[in-house]
Chains A and B, each alone.
Chain A
């Protein structure tokens, strides 16, 4: 804990095991905004990147997240490619495959290693049920 004021630590502990972290991966700024708004409301610390390659790079730099919201269709590196890469890197985060299509390439995405598949944008209800599962795991 070092020299931090003990009194302040209760609500804002830096590495609280209870505070989840998430990465939003989507090329659409509108979707990024909405998903980040959703996560913020749920108290989940989050970051956003624009494509699969940036998602992989952020992990190379050492960052880790409890949850990754991975869009399917993105330029430079797709969600399917990025998921495969992250899994091969040993990343065990809960990856939610997110797409505007209900069935297209769903199987391929699942095979790549996502834990769940949702249509975007996520709603508050859907996000909450995802968070329940992740918190229980922790």
Chain B
């Protein structure tokens, strides 16, 4: 029982820190509120979809910026998409990193775009790792609760 309470506290504190440090914003809360018994894996499903989308877009951005003749319009469209999807799940820092990126695309500033891409990749890998940690903690808590139920 003790272990479970500790896990709960750890999960609570960890989640709070993610909000405090700006990794997540209120949109993530919205997702959590959409999860219930009929939709028990909603948050994980949505976030996993975001991971797939984001990785695909980051690869495209890397390829595009490596071209001889860079298509800035296409680049901007991809950054716009990433900006939108990161905002949808509440990945605040990724969303914010996309803003200067879009400006550099409009200005056709290659140097600026390359720097921005690095920044976005950095923020993405941070939030991905933190969300994966969060999900792991939730799994452990669930496992602990189920173990409790077995003790009759």
Contacts and interface: CB of A to CB of B under 8 A. Distances in A.
Q: Do the two chains bind?
A: yes
Interface of A: 28-31, 33-34, 37-38, 40-41, 100, 120-121, 123-124
Interface in B72-97: 80-81, 83-85, 87-89
Nearest to B26: A123
B70 interface: no
Given A37-B39, A40-B39, A100-B83, A31 B88 contact: yes
A33 B39 CA distance: 12
B34 A121 contact: no
Contacts of B34: 34, 37-38, 40-41, 124
Nearest to A101: B80
B46 A34 contact: yes
A100 B80 CA distance: 9
Contact of A29 (B26, B39, B49): B49
A127 to B, nearest CB: 10
A41 B34 CA distance: 6
Interface residues of B, number: 23
Interface of B: 26-27, 30-31, 33-34, 36, 38-39, 42, 45-46, 49-50, 53, 80-81, 83-85, 87-89
Q: Which interface residue of A33, A37, A38 has the most chain B CB atoms within 10 A?
A: A37
A35 B83 CA distance: 18
A-B complex: 9 closest residue pairs judged by Cβ atoms = A37-B34, A100-B84, A121-B88, A30-B85, A30-B49, A41-B34, A123-B30, A30-B88, A33-B46
B39 A34 contact: no
A124 B36 CA distance: 15
Nearest to B85: A30
A29 to B, nearest CB: 6
Given A37-B46, A41-B34, 11 more contacts: A28-B84, A28-B85, A29-B49, A30-B49, A37-B42, A121-B27, A121-B30, A121-B87, A121-B88, A123-B26, A124-B30
Contacts of A28: 81, 84-85
